[in-house]
Structure 1
């Protein structure tokens, strides 16, 4: 399903509203299901993300995973480039990075095999709508060219839409984890 820029902009706007409402209503334990899913991948290099705006917060699950193996967070190096992932621990000193996300101030780079991916909207086919920069699509394509990579979308259930408009460069998610359950794309 391809869409015009105007249609994508309208969907992004609606997705921001839905996510903001879900964020405001959310209680504790949002990352519990994510922790359960990640338990099957202990010790495997993982990337998470540092929440911005009203994104669902994966850091409790990331902290648990960091006790078993390396966890990185994305660093944007510039427009049109794939993400790199800097080693993160719960006590890492961070600084503000691009778009206001905090990133470790220093540390080694991690090449993840499991990625927790933020999003604005998702559908049951496994497609996601992000902020429009294509960073995760480029990154996933590059990582998948080198071997198996598990991409886990993490979102509020309210962020589900009937169909995300896609382009040829869009990468599918392998799983979507919400506070309400786990979705295996069809």
Structure 2
């Protein structure tokens, strides 16, 4: 469900978002060579709630763009394509349990809670690796990725980055947070 503080976009916000998304779409045709913007825009115009999520992705500097099309469900796949982890989503721990476990110096939020508020999903490791075919992304930052329950139950969480021409998967305590670590999201429209 999208952020409760922002239930709808003004006409001006919608128009600005559509202009931004269209410009990014046209600039990065290598991410979606067989897709037509007019069809994408028609789908966006019919999904006000998804527009709010895309607005939140854009507002937090994720630079969402289409990286695929789910033929089975007829949905465009938007992913944060900012060169580095979205700046408006950094310095956060992994989830609510991690946030509540910190005794001192708590971050303002968690990746899981922010993603839920925005109406998006945190990328999986597989989705993160797929994104890198359009990259490189996160050459100076890192990104929380969905963490399997068995790892999370032991206090850990996973994150990825791109260094030395490769994607690396790491682990950390879920309660940790760094100024250079955020999360990337995905939204199907």
Q: TM-score, normalization: structure 2?
A: 0.30
More helix by share: 2
Q: Please tell me whether Structure 1 or Structure 2 has the larger radius of gyration of its CA atoms.
A: 2
